[in-house]
Structure 1
Amino acid sequence: MFKKTFLILLTVLSIFGQSQILGSRLDKKTLALGEVGVFKINISNLQGKDVVSAPKNELLPFHFEEVKDSISKQQDFYERIIEFQVFEEGKFSIPALDFKIGGQVYHTIPYEVEVINTAQKGDQINDIMKNKEVKLQVQDYWELYKWYILGVLALIALIFIIWQILKFAKRRKNSPVIMTNQTLRELEGLKKKKYIESGNYRSFYVELIDISRNFITKQYRIPADVLLTDDLIDVLKTNNTISRENEEIVEDVFLRSDLVKFAKTFPDQATMSKDLEDIRAFVKRSSKDLEAEHLRTGI
């Protein structure tokens, strides 16, 4: 009988000797508002096993503001110390918390914390130091607002640079050389359509006059795109912007185009080719007209 009892006792002691012991301790069960409390969890006889619990600063319930959460673990011992504060009056519970040790879940015992307001009704609260008025100098205002001022100046500078770029691009796009080269390319494109070779004089003169009107409008600042042929010729003669030679070419080609339009004349290939070359020569000489106009007006 004694031998059997000894074996049972030995078995129980062996089991307890190999098991882990989970303990917890709350230093105060009554706290003032904002007072720091300490909650400790320790595990002994760990035997190198892993310990899994809630992440740092997330172990305690909502009302408990965790100030510090430190974990230390050794081969045979685990300790977690949490410092916390509560900023509401009342009673708050720390429930049984789960700790998984080597795959087996253990629970701490629950606690209840009472939080009280230690201030007495009617207590006078005094400032530690009275407010002091400080007179600001120009340098102080600069330090306060310098980044706003610099930001506004940078924005103004950026807007000015963008405006200058757009202005330059527009001026470059409308420059006489750009306009001349663009019109010469359009005339070359008209030639490649083979209207002259096919005898399609109507389409040829419609496109030739459209190109010419657009060129005169942009290059000479004359509204050739809206004026009738007779009115345009009168403007060219009184304006003196276009040289006499170029004026005669425009008059001759435009009048012939009107005759073709109303089927009063049927130009041959040689005439069509000559009109195309005359307009091309007029476009190329346009820069000389503009130079003469600049000298005359001083612009």
Structure 2
Amino acid sequence: MKKIVFLFVLLIGVLGFSQILSSTLNKSTLALGEPAVLKITIDNLQGKDVKSSPKNELLPFHFDVIKDDINKQADSYSRTVEFAIFDEGTFKIPELEFKIGDKVFKTIPYEVEVVNTAKKDDQISDIMNNKTVDLGFKDYWLLYKFYVLGAIALIALIIIIYYFIRYSKRDKNTPKVISNKTLKDLELLKKKKYIENGNYRAFYVELLDISRDFITTQYRIPADVLLTDDLIDFMKKNNTISPENETVIEDVFLRGDLVKFAKTFPDQQAMESDFKNIKEVVKRSTKDIEFENLRSDV
């Protein structure tokens, strides 16, 4: 009798100081997508820590977790996992490990059978008949406004690109732009100090090249391919260049040819005068172009 009492007291002591893990599954047979709940509880924790799989990762692959709640108190622990399965068949919930302090405890395994409750010959009926709705302008606008606005934006972008390309090219070839470019070329020639150093041949070669390029682009006269005599004759017949500018160009070009072929040797004053006169021709050329445009319009 004493032995029985001793064993009973010993059992009570062991149970009093040990943790109790239990688990319950509320349903073992489920319809497709029907929720079920698995609950794990641990009692008599005595302040020990509980470690298990992270939230939403406790169950195997086919189990779609809807909710995973963990509640831990000083002496108890509970974890409630709500899940659903969307495939037919039998699926197993294996033993799930929970580490309490230094010891590992496992739940019992479960099997869940998932069935398709819809039969092949079942007819699906609409709750109510379909209705025809008349759409107004506002409804169509709400449906298609982004397509309309996108098309308008695309057309506007094409127009902007077209005019940008057209007028950007035109701006590069305006009389004023051509004049400014030529004036910059003349200033670069001035900085080479051919006049101050008496290098008259190099001076006139570059001066005439700049002038020929200018006449070709500004007046549309093929000065880059014509000889000096032919160019002078062409200018007088063409009447695009004003008489004042024609006179300067004729004088400078004839003197430049004489210098290039070593038939004359200009002094510094003559070179400075020719440089200044060509510069003035470039500045006055815009008026020649404006006059020619007015004459063409008439």
Q: TM-score range by the shorter chain?
A: 0.7 to 0.9
Q: Tell me how far 1:246 sits from its aligned partner.
A: 0.7
1:182 is paired with a residue whose SS is: helix
Runs of 4+ residues deviating >6 angstroms: none
Q: Which residue of 2 aligns with 1:72?
A: 71
Query: Which amino acid in 2 is paired with 1:246?
Result: N
Q: Distance in 1 between matches of 2:104 and 2:253?
A: 102
State the secondary structure of the residue aligned to 1:209. helix
Q: Could you tell me how far 1:18 is from its partner in structure 2? A: 4.1
Which shows bigger deviation, 143-152 or 158-167? 158-167
The answer to whether 1:144 aligns with 2:121 is: no
Report whether the alignment pairs 1:233 with 2:271.
Answer: no
What's the TM-score, normalizing by structure 2? 0.82
Structure 1 vs Structure 2: percent identity of aligned residues?
Answer: 65
* Distance in 1 (alpha carbons) for counterparts of 2:85 and 2:106: 23
Q: Whole-Å Cα distance in 2 between the matches of residues 113 and 224 of structure 1?
A: 98
Gaps of 5+ in 1: none
Secondary structure of 1:134's aligned partner: coil
Give deviations 1:116-173, integer Å, cap 9, x for gaps: 2223342333333444443433322211110121122223334434544555544444
User: Which amino acid in 2 is paired with 1:68?
Assistant: K
Letter in 2 for 1:292: F
Shift of 1:279: 0.9
Separation (CA, whole Å) in 1 of partners of 2:143 and 2:188: 64
Shift of 1:109: 2.3
For structure 2, the residue ranges without an aligned partner over 5 or more in a row are none
Taking a change above 3 Å as real, the CA distance of residues 34 and 249 of structure 1, as seen in their structure-2 partners, is same
Paired residue secondary structure (1:213): helix
Structure 2 counterpart of 1:17: 16
Listed one character per residue, the Cα deviations across residues 216-244 of structure 1 (whole Å, up to 9, x for unaligned) are 23333444445454444344223322111
Superposition pairs for residues 101-120 of structure 1, below 5 Å? Answer: 101-102=100-101, 104-120=103-119
More divergent stretch after superposition (147-156 vs 287-296): 287-296
**What's the secondary structure of 1:217's corresponding residue?**
helix
Q: Which residue identity does 1:203 align to in structure 2?
A: A
- Give 1:1-299 correspondences, 5 Å limit: 6=6, 16-102=15-101, 104-262=103-261, 265-298=264-297
User: Counterparts of 1:227 and 1:8 in 2: how far apart (Å)?
Assistant: 130
Q: Distance in 2 between matches of 1:77 and 1:6?
A: 29
Letter in 2 for 1:31: L
TM-score, scaled to structure 1 = 0.82
TM-fit CA distance, 1:85: 1.6
Secondary structure of the 2:41 match is strand
How far apart are the structure 1 equivalents of 2:226 and 2:101? 97
Moved more, 281-290 or 45-54: 45-54
